[in-house]
Structure 1
Amino acid sequence: MILYGLKTCDICRKALKLLGNADFVDVRGAGVPEEVLRAAHAQFGAALLNTRSTTWRGLSESDRAGDPLALLAAHPALMKRPLIEADGELYLGWGPEVRAALGLG
């Protein structure tokens, strides 16, 4: 299991604590592998972008209108977090439905 997030993100730290066996990838330093990012975008679409982040608010309108995958590659902190890869499945966020799907009730 791999958890993609930010080491400074409280929700990512909570998720990592409950998912003790997960490998953590700090997207700000290591990024998200392109194939994972493409699969996540295909599955989650616009929900993959965190449009409430300070990074998003700092972008120009023309940047915001650009290719979402290019935006995420250039600004990994724009990704909604955490993105969890487990047994070939992708999960986005840390809501009750994600916790239940991962067997954490």
Structure 2
Amino acid sequence: MRKIYHLKTCDTCKRILKSLPNLDTFELQDIKEAPMTVKQLEEIHTITGNYEVLFSKRAKLYKEMGLKDEVLTEADYKRYILEHYTFLSRPVILIDGKAFVGNSPKVVAAAIAFLG
């Protein structure tokens, strides 16, 4: 499966999508227009092994809600990601059973290299 969870209004996501070869072979899901389902999130969790890696601690809501001062559990991360799209570290690029999460240059380079 080749799928990318992204935010179409995010300039960083746009830049990353443009840099990916064979983008036409991916299913794209704008997480604001089509929120991630429990099943989708659980499928990604199966690949990554935890929800924290999928959680964006850079989101404004993270600080506004005082979450940075709390000790969050895996269940908390899952719940917050499902409650509001901003908590998903994006983009999430799924390529044939492997997940590349976030927008760091290292992660993007690894996804591009994997596409080979």
TM-score for both structures, normalised by structure 2: 0.71
- Counterpart of 1:82 (choices 87, 91, 100) is 91
Report how many residues are paired.
Answer: 103
| C-alpha distance 44-93 of structure 1, shift in aligned 2 (>3 A) | farther
1:49 aligns with 2:58: no
Read off the aligned partner of 2:96 and give its amino acid letter: D
- Whether the aligned pair in 1 keeps the contact of 2:55 and 2:77 (CA below 8 Å) is yes
Superposed CA RMSD: 2.4
Three-state SS of the structure 1 residue aligned to 2:32 is: helix
1:31 aligns with 2:31: no
Segments of 4+ moved more than 6 angstroms: none
Query: Residues 1-105 of structure 1: matches in 2 within 5 Å?
Result: 1-19=2-20, 20-21=23-24, 22-42=26-46, 43=48, 45=50, 46-61=52-67, 65=72, 67-94=76-103, 95-103=105-113
**Which sections of structure 1, spanning at least 5 residues, go unmatched?**
none
Quick one: distance in 2 between partners of 1:97 and 1:49? 15
Note the C-alpha offset of 1:7: 1.2
| C-alpha distance 30-7 of structure 1, shift in aligned 2 (>3 A) | same
Three-state SS of the structure 1 residue aligned to 2:16 is: helix
Read off the aligned partner of 2:88 and give its amino acid letter: M
| C-alpha distance 44-17 of structure 1, shift in aligned 2 (>3 A) | farther
TM-score for both structures, normalised by structure 1: 0.77
